[in-house]
Structure 1
Amino acid sequence: MERRQEILEIAAKLFAEYGYKATSIREIAERAGMMGGSLYYHIRSKEALFIEIHDRALDAAARRIRAAMAPHTAPWARLEAACTEMLEIQLNPESLTLPIMNNFRSVPEEVKAILVRKRDEFETIFRTIVDALPLPPGLDRQIYRILLLRLLNTADTWYHEGRLSPAEIAAQILTIFRHEASATRAKSEKKSGTKAAPKTQAPRKRRVAA
Structure 2
Amino acid sequence: MTVGDSREMTSAAKSTLAGALQDSGLSDRHRDILDAAAALFAERGYAATSVRDIGERVGLLGGSLYHYIKSKEALFVRIHDIALQVAEDRIRAAIAPLSDPWARLEAACVTMMEIQLDPNSLTMPLMNDFASAPAEIRERLVEKRDTFELVFRDLIAALPLDPALDRGVYRLLLLTLLNNVSGWYRPGRMTPDELGRQILRIFRHEAEKQ
TM-score, normalising length: structure 1: 0.85
Amino acid at match of 1:45: S
Tell me the amino acid that sits aligned with residue 65 of structure 2: L
Aligned positions, number = 184
Structure 1 CA distance, aligned partners of 2:58 and 2:193? Answer: 37
Structure with higher RCO (Cα < 8 A, 6+ apart): 2
1:70 corresponding residue in structure 2: 96
In 1, Cα distance between equivalents of 2:156 and 2:44 = 35
1:34 partnered with 2:60: yes
CA deviation profile, 1:63-93 (whole Å, cap 9, x unmatched): 1100000110000000000011111111001
One-letter code of the match for 2:183? T
Q: Deviation per CA, 1:105-162, whole angstroms, max 9, x where unpaired?
A: 1111120000000000000000000000011011111111111111111111121112
Alignment of 1:128-207 (within 5 A): 128-183=154-209, 185=210
- For residues 47-67 of structure 1, the C-alpha deviation after alignment (integer angstroms, 9 at most, x for no partner) is 110001000001011111000
SS for the counterpart of 1:105 is coil
Q: Counterparts of 1:55 and 1:143 in 2: how far apart (Å)?
A: 25
Any gaps of 5 or more consecutive residues in structure 2?
1-26
| Mapped partners of 1:48, 1:93: distance in 2 | 26
**2:64 counterpart of 1:24:** no
Residue ranges of structure 1 left out of the alignment (5+ in a row)? 186-210
| 1:96 maps onto 2:113 in alignment | no
Corresponding position: 1:9 with 2:32: no
Instruction: Find the aligned partners of 1:83 and 1:174 in 2 and give their Cα distance.
Output: 7
Match among 133, 147, 150 for residue 121 of structure 1: 147
Task: State the AA in 2 paired with 1:167.
Answer: D
Q: Structure 1 residues 51-60 or 161-170, which shifts more?
A: 161-170
**Aligned equivalents of 2:46, 2:193: Cα separation in 1:** 31
Alignment root-mean-square deviation, CA: 0.9
* Whole-Å separation in 2 of the counterparts to 1:37 and 1:67: 41
The 4+ residue runs of structure 1 with deviation greater than 2 A are: none
Name the amino acid aligned to 1:182.
Answer: E
Who wins on radius of gyration, i.e. which is larger?
A: 1
Compute the TM-score of the two structures, normalised by the length of structure 2: 0.85
